Amino acid sequence: MSDLFSQLGVEPAALLWQTANFAVVLGTLWYLVYKPLTSLVAERTSKIEKGLSDAVQAQAELARADADYAARLRDAEREGTDIVKRSEAEAQKRASSIITNGEARGESIVAEARTLAERARAEEFASLEAEAKAFVQAVVAKTVALDPSTVDAKLVEQAVAAIKSQKHAV
């Protein structure tokens, strides 16, 4: 083997020192570079895996939050619709009540107006009757040329009754 080394130009002592130096450099590099580098890569890998699992978890939470939001939105829409329907029903009841009260008030006003009109008519009729009596007395007194104090009251009453019957016929 020494012939082979000599033909190749390799000295065994130098080869031994080179092997020892390589082993020292290899051990130093393994201890100072490879070990920290593998731990750094492992740490980075675990951080990436944790980040991916956190992202999956966050995505699941986001999906739950979206579902919760959609459910709350549907509930709010349903509640809003119910509030609007109740308000419309209450407004309809109030409108009916106002209309009923207005109709009742209108009927009351019409009845009161009729009563007032009847009273006014009765007063006018009484006034007209008094004027008619006076007119008939004056006419009878002039026609018969008698003293107005002696004119028969019965004659006046008959004339007023005739006027009343004509008035009612109209």
**What does the pLDDT look like over 29-84, one tens digit per residue?**
999 999 999 999 999 999 999 999 999 999 999 999 999 999 999 999 999 999 99
Strands (E), 26-164: none
What is the pLDDT at residue 119?
92
What is the pLDDT at residue 39?
92
**24-to-21, 29, 39, 123 alpha-carbon distances in Å:** 5, 8, 22, 141
Highest mean pLDDT range out of 8-12, 85-89, 120-124? 85-89
What is the pLDDT at residue 49?
95
Residue 140 has pLDDT above 90, yes or no: no
Return the residue matching tokens 């009260």: 101
What is the pLDDT at residue 169?
64
Residue 151 has pLDDT above 60, yes or no: no
In terms of Cβ atoms closer than 10 Å to its own Cβ (0-12, 13-18, 19+), residue 133 is: middle
Give me the mean pLDDT over the 8-16 stretch: 81
Residue type, 76: A
**80-to-67, 71, 77 alpha-carbon distances in Å:** 20, 14, 5
For residue 93, name the pLDDT band (cuts at 50, 70, 90). Answer: very high
Q: What is the mean pLDDT of the chain?
A: 86
What is the pLDDT at residue 83?
95
For residue 144, name the pLDDT band (cuts at 50, 70, 90). Answer: low
What is the pLDDT at residue 132?
80
Give me the mean pLDDT over the 120-148 stretch: 77
